[in-house]
A and B are shown apart, each in its own frame.
Chain A
């Protein structure tokens, strides 16, 4: 298929089951090949990232990961090298280190390009937004944390840096409302700049990365098991999804599969994570529309699930579920019984609470047509998870790129007959992308997750290993792989490149669903009123920590 690019492509190879790596001859061809991947190969830009490979091959490597969906489970990884000729230690701005921007063709690429500029000092040529992203004011120019010469513990002066300019909206009666980073509730920090005309929001700009902790750089300093603990703490409520994606990346790089029992356990814990978080989000939405009773009921259910988490894994946030090459939790008969009985009871209560909410017009009126995400926006921004599904974009990593034991499970129950499939497609077309759609998607997913847990428990072998033992011996230095999982927020992607020593990483790239979905909120609030913002924010349930790393 890539025959017509034969003069522009160096080599194509196939790796780790479903990754097609395409190495470009020149960086100038990046936009053409990206457009080809999107338009002709019908795939979606999932992430793009850089790694500092000046050591092994004298160049920075840029990778553009495209995911093919619609029944074909593979990833296209376009790779281009940016030659860096000099030795470069501590070197100043170097304009020759640039790459062509694709942000005009791919709006979702804009953030990745700014991230690469901040962290590696490679400049996107022709990028529409040249402001810093990760590094705030008081970070000096010319220091790039993800370059190899930068040590993770370096104490950088709090001087210099560039001023951050928010988009100015001017006109008669237009006001600006700055909110954050410290918010009124018990939530994470981020800054929102509203431009309002009366009560209506005419522009919103988010500024994040207040909780940037240097996760990717830290990953290069730790051993594989420590990175696993780190991955659980990227975002505390996505511990299972992130650690599963990380473990899978390693397992794929080593060419091993975790034992069947571990795969099923991962499904059980991942779905338990989805349930308790969706319950929390639904409770939050109920709070934000001013219906405390519904929120109290849902919070009781969430607490019950968190107590179950503790009984199953020893942690209320499911920390410790995964191990490199398997799982650290044994689901014995006693735990299985607890899971089943708690779920059964909770689901019963859940349905009653939800039917009460659905019959309450003061709740439904607030949700309907609030914070609408148009389907076109969802596609162009490459949204994922609930944010995409609420707008009728039917994608789910669990189904499109099955991992763990999901190939034998259906994340949605609609595919058993052509009639149900058509019904499902019609229903997808009818989704409006508003807060009510997100409410309904989450409700449906809680029920589906409970069914999947049941199924996974059914399929679980009674005995057998929990961890593959020889994973580390099979890891080749400098090999790499992509790991992925569907968290309750959407697709999370982890890329690992093994270092010189097989028990270390030379590059750990994490892209959580929140990073992709954050720009959606700027679109969703347009024309809504300021008091609806908390509700819209909660209905999208975005993680600050998962975005900021």
Chain B
């Protein structure tokens, strides 16, 4: 094993070190210059739609006017916004369903606010539901990718001897979540330097990353993949579809979330969740293995 921890940490410094001289390097006969500090940019940009917040300070719904609120409920394609208490006009927002289209903010800007963080992964599905008057509206995560990665790396080296094996299963996704999971493997995110690698067989895996609605035609394959994974195993549902069915919801061809097919330990919402959010989900997954 030549890839020691030391070599990896050196690699990480090279990528993130903004102080390194930015001149074109000549590698293998070609001069390709790339951003050394792309990593600094991977915090979400201003306009990124990553989280919806219920604005608590404006919770006086009566003054808000029923009309706009009702339109927001009607408009919401995945039916993430719901009335919990008709008499008090209580609103709840299921972030596991939310596809972050931003329509609610357009209709009722005094009630919903789109922010550029991302929704933290949860262990329980019900924790993704936020309600006005209930628990405090949660802030989107703003932790940097590197911080999460370092924390994860420490845990992985303690528990798994430096390596966590992940198997990805698409159970009816649009390929959006796959693109983001693939991005974790690109040289910018380079998830392998935290000791996480994607394996070709569920028999080698500690963690299953499951995306998609849990489509009817994938039920058998998903169950068999789950059964083929050795214990202890953790299942992470990635994306709104995997958490709740997303915009597809429950149809003749879908299951409204993969937890209707296999047990799920961690829910990562988002449509699709950005790579940082998926990494955060893996951190929660490691915490689940005891």
Binding site for B on A (CB under 8 A): 136, 139, 145, 150, 152-156, 158, 181-182, 184-189, 209-215, 217-218, 222, 225-226, 229-230, 233-237, 239, 280, 293, 296-297, 299-304, 306-307, 310-311, 313-317, 319-320, 349, 352-353, 355-356, 359, 543-546
Interface string of B247-272 (1 = CB under 8 A from A): 11111111000000000000000011
Q: Is the CB of A210 within 8 A of B215?
A: yes
Does B77 sit within 8 A of A, measured CB to CB? yes
Closest chain B CB from A549 CB (angstroms): 9
Question: Quick one: which of B42, B221, B272 contacts A181, CB cutoff 8 A?
Answer: B221
| B99 contacts across to A, CB distance below 8 A | 229, 233
Closest chain B CB from A451 CB (angstroms): 21
Closest chain B CB from A58 CB (angstroms): 25
Q: Closest chain A residue to B31 by CB distance? A: A352
Does B103 sit within 8 A of A, measured CB to CB? yes
Closest chain A CB from B26 CB (angstroms): 11
Question: Quick one: which of B34, B189, B225 contacts A182, CB cutoff 8 A?
Answer: B225
| A211 contacts across to B, CB distance below 8 A | 170-173, 212, 215, 217-218
Interface string of B217-247 (1 = CB under 8 A from A): 1110100010000000000000000000011
Which stretch (B88-96, B119-127, B149-157, B177-185) binds chain A?
A: B177-185
Dominant secondary structure of chain B at its interface with chain A: loop
Name 27 A/B residue pairs within 8 A (Cβ), A-sorted.
A152-B251, A152-B252, A153-B249, A155-B252, A181-B218, A182-B169, A182-B221, A184-B201, A188-B175, A188-B178, A210-B215, A210-B217, A210-B221, A211-B171, A211-B173, A211-B215, A213-B248, A217-B252, A218-B248, A236-B173, A303-B183, A303-B188, A310-B44, A310-B48, A316-B179, A317-B179, A543-B175
| B31 contacts across to A, CB distance below 8 A | 352
| A225 contacts across to B, CB distance below 8 A | 75, 77, 103
Q: Is the CB of B30 within 8 A of A352?
A: yes
Interface string of B198-220 (1 = CB under 8 A from A): 10111000000000110111110
In the assembly, what is the distance between CA of A301 and CA of B198, in Å? 22
Q: Is the CB of B215 within 8 A of A300?
A: no
Using known A-B contacts A182-B221, A186-B181, A211-B212, determine if residue A544 contacts B175 with beta carbons closer than 8 Å.
yes
Besides the contacts A226-B77, A296-B187, A545-B173, what 12 more A-B pairs have beta carbons closer than 8 Å? A136-B216, A154-B252, A186-B181, A186-B185, A188-B175, A211-B215, A212-B215, A226-B247, A236-B272, A297-B32, A303-B189, A359-B29
Does B33 sit within 8 A of A, measured CB to CB? yes
Q: Is the CB of B251 within 8 A of A214?
A: yes
Q: Is the CB of A293 within 8 A of B187?
A: no
Residue of B44, B77, B181 contacting most chain A CB atoms (<10 Å):
B77
In the assembly, what is the distance between CA of A246 and CA of B103, in Å? 19
Binding site for A on B (CB under 8 A): 27-35, 38, 41-42, 44-45, 47-49, 75, 77, 99-103, 168-183, 185-189, 198, 200-202, 212-213, 215-219, 221, 225, 246-254, 271-272, 274
Q: Closest chain A residue to B218 by CB distance? A: A210
Closest chain B CB from A128 CB (angstroms): 24
| B272 contacts across to A, CB distance below 8 A | 236, 316-317
Question: Quick one: which of A230, A234, A320, A356 contacts B29, CB cutoff 8 A?
Answer: A356
In the assembly, what is the distance between CA of A124 and CA of B147, in Å? 60
| A145 contacts across to B, CB distance below 8 A | 252-253
Q: Is the CB of A320 within 8 A of B49?
A: yes
Closest chain A CB from B263 CB (angstroms): 18
| B217 contacts across to A, CB distance below 8 A | 136, 209-212
Q: Is the CB of B75 within 8 A of A184?
A: no
